[in-house]
Structure 1
Amino acid sequence: MPALTIISTTAENAPMPLLLEADPSEKQVRTYLASSHIYVAKQGDKDVGVCVIKPLENNSAELMNIAVCPHLQAGGIGRQLLEHVIEQSRQQGLKNLTLGTGTFGYQLTFYQRAGFRVTSIDKDFFLIHYDEPIFENGIQHKDMLRLTLAL
């Protein structure tokens, strides 16, 4: 298997099929792509992961999307991509990296292992902002947890 490399790319070249693995609404994804930093994990010439970071005020940024090809998940690509983005954020002088995720599921554990802490709950977020209900393991996502990592 080829070594993993992580590159920056533009909104126009962002791998939309991968982005939709983490956020099923292309409409929502397009709202943040143009104003964000996009990192793509590649093995050889194949896009195998993607991460999108949107700069915010107060030396902060929000992790908007992180996804890995389904057949390669749980193999360390997501962890390497997240570590890369955290390091890039530190080098840019950011103080905090925030994100929003569902209130249950493997994603929450993934972020907590990386040091993110729950800071608030955005009630009914998935009900308000998505046209179609989002289910995971037979349970509908309704609320969003907001997590923060101090850099």
Structure 2
Amino acid sequence: MELIIEQFSKCTVRHYELLLEAKPSKSMIDLYLPQSHCVEAKDGIRIIGVIILKLKEPNILEIVSIAVKEDIRGNGIGSLLIEYALEFAENYGVNSIEISVGSTNFKALYLYQKYGFRMKYIVRDFFTKQYDQKIMYNNIELKDLVRLEKNCVETH
């Protein structure tokens, strides 16, 4: 499988399909896309993953969204997208990278911690207050948001 990772500027239906798996609100997605650095992973012509990066402050990069096509998960695409974000952060000289994830998304929590992200804080009942419909993830009602951070500046 030849994998291509490249920036995109226009969000297509295929991009939205993936992004809506990570954030179940198109209007929310449309709010952050214009100010973001959007990257897709393709195997040939098929889009199999996306990562959306946004400089929150001059020294903080936020991974606003990351999603991999469900039937492709577990094959390293998420890792490649995280590595892209780490390289992007290094190129822009940011001090830290932040990402939010649902508390029941155990595989994502594992992946981010594998790359050195540490828990920063938890927003209790974020998903129950933010969304009208109940969200189930791993057969558990998703309620809390976990914010993680990776320090990009070496300290001794």
Calculate the TM-score normalised by the size of structure 2: 0.90
Q: Mind listing any 5+ residue stretches in structure 2 that lack a counterpart?
A: none
Once superposed, what is the RMSD of the aligned Cα atoms?
1.4
Shift of 1:58: 4.0
SS in 1 for 2:35: coil
Read off the aligned partner of 1:129 and give its amino acid letter.
Answer: Q
After TM superposition, the structure 1 = structure 2 runs for residues 92-111 of structure 1, keeping only pairs within 5 Å, are 92-104=92-104, 105-111=106-112
Shift of 1:138: 2.0
SS in 1 for 2:53: strand
Taking the aligned partners of 1:132 and 1:11, their CA distance within structure 2 comes to 29
Structure 1 runs (4+) deviating above 4 angstroms are none
- Does 1:125 pair with 2:126? yes
Deviations 1:60-118 (A, max 9, x none): 11111111111110001110111011111111111111011112321111111111000
Matched with 1:141 is 142
SS in 2 for 1:34: helix
Read off the aligned partner of 2:118 and give its amino acid letter.
Answer: R
Residue 11 of structure 1 contacts residue 33 of structure 1 at CA under 8 Å; is this kept in 2?
A: no
- Does 1:68 pair with 2:68? yes
SS in 2 for 1:67: strand
Q: Mind listing any 5+ residue stretches in structure 1 that lack a counterpart?
A: none
**Larger deviation: 87-96 or 123-132?**
123-132
SS in 1 for 2:75: coil
After TM superposition, the structure 1 = structure 2 runs for residues 2-151 of structure 1, keeping only pairs within 5 Å, are 3-13=2-12, 15-104=15-104, 105-151=106-152
Taking the aligned partners of 2:120 and 2:42, their CA distance within structure 1 comes to 32
Deviations 1:106-150 (A, max 9, x none): 111111111100011112211121221211122111111110011
Read off the aligned partner of 2:76 and give its amino acid letter.
Answer: G
Taking the aligned partners of 2:127 and 2:49, their CA distance within structure 1 comes to 24
Pair 132,11 (structure 1): closer, same or farther in 2 beyond 3 Å: farther
Taking the aligned partners of 2:35 and 2:130, their CA distance within structure 1 comes to 19
Aligned-residue identity in percent: 35
Read off the aligned partner of 2:60 and give its amino acid letter.
Answer: S
